[in-house]
Amino acid sequence: MRRFYPYASYLKPVRWHLLAGVLLGLVYAASSGFGLPYMVKFVFPKIFTEGAPVMSNREIFLIALWLPAIFTLRGVSGYLNTYLVQYGGTRILEQLRLDYFRKLQVLPLAFLQRNSSGDLISRGVSDTNQLQVTLSNLANELVKQPGTLVAALGYLTYLAFTESGVGLVLVCLASVPLCIFPIRFAGRKLVRRAVQLQTELGSLTDRFSENLSASREVRAFSLEEREVARFSISTRLLLTSQMKVVKYAKALPPAIEIISAFGLAATFIYAYRSGLELAPFLSIITALYVCYDPIKKLAALSNDTKRGAAALDRLEYVLNEPVAIADPASPVPVGRLKGNLVFDHVTFSYKDDEPALRDVSVTIPAGTVCALVGPSGAGKTTFVNLVPRFFDTASGRVTFDGIDVRDLRLADLRANIALVSQDPFLFKDSIYNNLLLGRETATRAEVEQAAREAHAHDFILSLPAGYDTVVGERGATLSGGQRQRIALARAFLRNAPVLILDEATSALDSESESAIQLALRKLVVGKTVLIIAHRFSTIRDASMILVFDRGRIAASGTHAALYDTSPLYKTLYDRQSTAA
C-alpha cells in the first residue's frame, strides 16, 4: 500500500465521490457480513421450526420482506459503491495518462531515442490502465471486503455471547490465518512475473508500431512472412508471461476454499458433539462462509496490487526521469533576436566514450548562409541540434546574440528558429492546420501567401477540399515533394531570424527544386541559415561553408577557397560531381 501513497493526490479531485463510495461500501459490508447470518438465525426459524406459533398474514409478509430488504440494500449499495469508485478510478487514469504524456513532451530527445516508441506507448496505455484497475480495486475492495469480514466476525462474537457454547465455535476460525500462507507465496511469485508481463506487452506494442511504420519496406522486400514469424515469437513470449501470472493468481481462490472447507468441517464436528441447534449452526456456517469470501477477494486484490506495482515501476521510469533540458530559473527576457550564433569550445557526446562534437568553436554572424558538409556521422546534425537546445552541450556553450541558449526560455529560443527537416512530419489534420503550426496567430491570407512562396498553393487548391483537406497519418496521402513544400511553407510563415534546412530540397523533383531555390533566396535575406546538404549544388552560393570530420570543423570558408585548400572538401565535391 505504501507504494501508492505518493499518488494519493490524484484522489483529491474525486474525493467526495470516493467518500460516498466508501460509505456505501460499509453499508454493503454490514448487510453482507451481519445481515445475512442474522437473517438465517432469526428469520428462517420463525417459519420452518416445528412447533413455531402460527403467524398472521401480516407477520409472514413482514418476515418475508427481510430477504428482499437485505439483498436490495446489499445490491444497491454494492452497485453505487462500484460505480462511484470506478468513476474515481477513471478520473485518476485520465490525470495519470495526461501527466505521463505531458512528461514525454519535455523529456530530451536523447531519452526518446534510447527507448522504443512502442514500449513508451505501452507504458502510457497498458500500464496506466493496469494501475487504474489496481487503484480502483484498492479503493473499492479495501472497504467492502475487510468491512464484510469484520461484520461477520462481529456477528460470530455476538452469537458467542448470546448462545450457550457457541463461543467455542470461534476456535474454528483458526483456519483463517492459514489462508495467509498461500497469499504470501503467490504474491512473491507474482511480483517478478508481473514486471515481465508488462515488459513483454511493451515489446509486442513496439513490434506492431515498427511493422506499421515500415509497411512499404515490408512489401518491397517481401518480408511479410518474416514479420509474421517475428510477431509470433513476441505473442508466444507474451502468452508465456500471461500464463505464469494466471498460474499463481488463479491458484489462490481454490487454495483458500480448500482451507476454508477444513474450517467448516471442524465447525460441523464441534456442532454435532456439542448438540448445537440447527438455526445457530446454519447462521454460523453462513457467517464463516461470509468470512472466507472476503479473504479470497483480498487475496486477489493482493495479486492485483502486485501487478499495479509492476505497472507503476514502468511508469515511474518515465515520470521520474529528470528533465535535463528545461527553462532556467531566471530566463533572460527576449523578443525577436538578430541571429548571431557562436559555438564556444563545444563538446557533445551521445555516449560518454564517443564524442559527436570535439571542441568546436565557430562564429556565424547574423545574415550568414552557412552550409555544413562532411562525411556521414561527422557531426553536422548534432551541430544544428544544439542551437534549438534539442540537446545540451557537455562542455562549452552556444550563444544566440551573445546570450547562452541555456539562459533563454525554450519557447523564446525556439520561436526564433524555423526548422525544415529531411523527413518533415505532418499531423493527421487539415493542410491549413498543419501550415498554421508555423505561426498559430497567422491569418488565412498569410498562410496562403506562405504556401505561394513555397510553391505549394497550386497543388493544395487541386486537392478535393483545398486547404481543408485532411492528410493521412504522417501526411501519407501526399507525395514526398508535397510534404516538403508544406514544411517549407511553415518556415516561410514562421519568418524566424534563424533557419535550419536539413536536406530541405532532397525530396523535390528538379522543376520544384529550381522554384524552391528561387524562393529560398528570398527567404534567407536577413536571416542566419544553417544548411545541411549532401548535394553540393545547393550550397555553392553559401557565404560560409563548414567542413566537418569526425566531430571537428576541419575547415571553413567559401566554396572556391575550400576547393583549393581543403583536401577533404575537394574529395567530397569531386566524388559527387563525378557521380553526377
Higher pLDDT, 547 or 537: 547
Q: Which H or E run includes 363? A: strand 354-364
Architecture of domain 11-319: Up-down Bundle (1.20)
Architecture of domain 341-579: 3-Layer(aba) Sandwich (3.40)
Higher pLDDT, 57 or 365: 365
pTM, rounded to two decimals? 0.70
464-514: pLDDT as tens digits: 888 888 887 777 778 777 888 888 888 888 888 999 988 766 555 566 666
- Whether pLDDT at 415 is above 60: yes
* Chain centroid to CA 265: 50
**What's the rounded mean pLDDT across residues 121-137?**
79
Using DSSP bridges, classify how beta strands 528-532 and 544-549 pair: parallel, antiparallel or unpaired.
unpaired
- CA distances, 169 to each of 159, 271, 280 (Å): 10, 8, 11
Q: Where are the domains of the chain?
A: 11-319, 341-579
Spatial contact of 106 and 60, defined as CB atoms under 8 Å apart: no
Query: If DSSP codes are grouped into helix, strand and coil, which group holds residue 343?
Result: strand
Neighbouring residues of 578: CB distance < 8 A, sequence distance ≥ 6: none
**What is the pLDDT confidence band of residue 343, given thresholds at 50, 70 and 90?**
very high
Neighbouring residues of 509: CB distance < 8 A, sequence distance ≥ 6: 481
pLDDT at position 325: 85
> Do 11-319 and 341-579 have matching folds?
no
pLDDT at position 263: 66
Supply the mean pLDDT for the chain. 77
**What is the pLDDT confidence band of residue 436, given thresholds at 50, 70 and 90?**
confident
Q: Which residues does residue 344 pair with via DSSP β-bridges, in sequence order?
A: 397
How many percent of the chain have pLDDT more than 90?
A: 8
16-25, 332-341, 429-438, 460-469: range with lowest mean pLDDT: 16-25
54-63, 205-214, 230-239, 365-374: range with lowest mean pLDDT: 54-63
- Whether pLDDT at 550 is above 90: no
Cell of 334: 527576449
- Whether pLDDT at 435 is above 70: yes
Higher pLDDT, 539 or 362: 362
Query: If DSSP codes are grouped into helix, strand and coil, which group holds residue 395?
Result: strand
**What's the rounded mean pLDDT across residues 205-212?**
74
pLDDT at position 564: 85
Measured between alpha carbons, how far is 375 from 394 in angstroms, rounded to an integer? 23
pLDDT at position 491: 86
pLDDT at position 363: 92
Most distant CA atoms of the chain, gap in Å: 122
Q: Which range among 68-72, 209-213, 295-299, 356-360 has the greatest average pLDDT?
A: 356-360
pLDDT at position 342: 93
Q: Which residues does residue 552 pair with via DSSP β-bridges, in sequence order?
A: 549
Q: Tell me, what DSSP letter sits at residue 125?
A: I
Residue of 23, 257, 227, 6 whose CA lies nearest to 135: 6
pLDDT at position 37: 66
pLDDT at position 87: 78
